[in-house]
Structure 1
Amino acid sequence: MTRPDHADVPRATGTDPLTLVVGVHLVLADRGTVLLGQRRNTAYANGLWHLPAGHLEAGESVLAGMAREAEEELGITIREEDLDLVHTLHHLDADDGAGRLQLFFAPRAYTGDITNREPDKCAALRFWPLDGLPEPIVGYTAHALAQITAGRPLSVVGWPA
C-alpha cells in the first residue's frame, strides 16, 4: 500500500500548522542588573529599552541565532553550548495580531568586550537594576524579566483568557 502525499490530503479549515515569528533575546545579568539597549530608528518600539534581541533566520537553530545576534549587536562571542534557555514567552502582538514565540537565553560564558555594534539601531547600552528597570521599556521585556526573576520558565501575554 502506498502512503498518500500529505500535500494531497485535504485539511479542515483552521487546522493548518501555525507559523510563528521566533525572537531570541539575550539576558546578560550581573549582580542584580541586566543589560538593556535603547532602540533607535526602528519600526518597532523606537526609543524604548529592550534586551539585545533579534529574529531567527531561515536555516538556523535558536542557539545559532542567539549566538549570531550577540556577535552582531554586542561584539561578544557565545558558544551555543554556553546558552541556557531561561524563559519562553508566547506573545500575541497587539499591534499586528501575530503570534510570536520569544525565547530568552542567559550565557554561562562569553568572550569579548560588550560594545554597541549597531549605533544606528541602538542609542545606548546600559546595565539596569532588575528592581529598577527604565521607562519606557518594551512591555513584554519587563514581563519576561519579572518571570525569569521569579523562576517561571513559561508565560503567555496578550492572548484572550
Structure 2
Amino acid sequence: MGIDPDHIRETVTAYTSAHPEEDAVLARVLERLDRGEDLSSRKTFPLHVTAGAVLVDENGDVLLVRHNALGKYLTPGGHLEPEDVDLRGAALRELREETGIRTGIEPLSPDPVHIDVHDIPANDAKGEPAHQHADVRYLFRTTGPVTVTLQEEEVSGVAWRSPDALADEVLRDRVSAAVR
C-alpha cells in the first residue's frame, strides 16, 4: 500500500505553514505531487521522499551512523517502504533497522523537526541516476539506556555527538533548541 500522497502533502503543507521561510524549497515536492508522481517510490526521479530520525539521548547528544553508500556520518534514515503507513513511522522503522534499537525511544513531536531537500549522487550499482531526496526528519529521544546493533549492510559505525556536529544548520539549530 505505502504512504498515501495526501499524507505527504499534508505533512509538507503543515511544515511550511510553521516554517514559511522553507516554502520555496519545498514547493517542488508539492508540484510533483500535483502532477501525480509517486514520491514514496525510490524509483521516482529526479526527486522522491525519504524519512529520517534524529535520536537524542539524556545528555542531548545525537546518534550518528556511518552510511556505507556515502561514507559519511549522518542521522539514520532511508527510503520509504510499501509497508509504511506514515512518515514518522517510516523514520522510526529506519532508525530501528539501521541501529537495532527496539525499545527506549519516544517521539518528541508528532511533526517533523526538519524537511531537507538534498542531492544524491548517481549509484551505478543500483542503476540510479543522480537525484534528490526530500528527507522528512523526526526528532526522537531515548528514555533510558539503548543498545545499538548496526545493520552492517548499510551502516558501519556509530557515534553520539553534540548537535553541533550536525552539518545542516537548520537541523542543528532546531535540535539544539529542542534539547535545551
TM-score (norm 2): 0.55
Structure with larger Rg: 1
Cα distance in 2 between the residues matched to 1:48 and 1:32: 21
Cα distance in 2 between the residues matched to 1:17 and 1:54: 22
Of 14, 27, 34, the match for 2:54: 27
Matched, 1:148 2:167: no
Q: CA deviation at 1:88?
A: 0.9
Structure 1, unaligned runs of 5 or more: 1-13, 134-140, 153-161
Matched, 1:62 2:81: no
CA RMSD in angstroms comes to 3.2
- Native 8 Å contact 2:63 2:158 kept in 1: yes
Q: Which has the higher helix share?
A: 2
2:107 aligned partner, one-letter code: D
Identity %: 23
1:115 aligned partner, one-letter code: V
Cα distance in 1 between the residues matched to 2:105 and 2:148: 20
Of 41, 45, 53, the match for 2:77: 53
Label 1:92 to 1:39 Cα distance change in 2 as closer, same or farther (>3 A): closer
TM-score (norm 1): 0.60
Structure 2, unaligned runs of 5 or more: 1-31, 40-47, 123-128, 176-180
The size of the alignment, in residue pairs, is: 125
SS of the residue 1:151 aligns to: helix
Q: CA deviation at 1:130?
A: 2.6
